[in-house]
Each structure stands twice: as C-alpha cells, then as structure tokens.
C-alpha cells in the first residue's frame, strides 16, 4: 500500500520494484553465459584446432 509522508510517496522495495526477482533471472543469466562460452569454444575448435 502506498503511503504519503511530507508530500512524498513512500513505498517498500518490493512495491517499488513491482515484482520479486526470482531464481528465473539467475537461470537466464547462467544459461546465456554458458551458451556464449560454448559458442566461443566451437568457433575456436573450428578455426584454430589442428
């Protein structure tokens, strides 16, 4: 619930954010980083491996 103090709106961090950062953000970042590393490994093996 939004409160007003001294003419300013005061909200908790959860209210201001509007949602909770769940583990899904972490999962997306880990998966994306892993895919980028895998892509670099594949490019290295295709172009530089003998």
- Domains of the chain by residue range: 22-50
pLDDT tens digits for range 5-25: 888 888 877 777 776 667 788
Beta-carbon contacts of 4 under 8 Å, excluding residues fewer than 6 positions away, are 10
Q: Which residues contact 6 (CB under 8 A, 6 or more apart)?
A: none
The structure's pTM equals: 0.55
**Mean pLDDT of the 41-48 span:** 94
């Amino acid at each position: 619930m939004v409160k007003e103090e001294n003419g300013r709106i005061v909200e908790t961090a959860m209210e201001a954010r509007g949602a909770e950062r769940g583990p899904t953000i972490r999962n997306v970042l880990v998966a994306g980083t892993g895919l980028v590393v895998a892509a670099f490994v594949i490019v290295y093996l295709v172009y530089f491996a003998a």
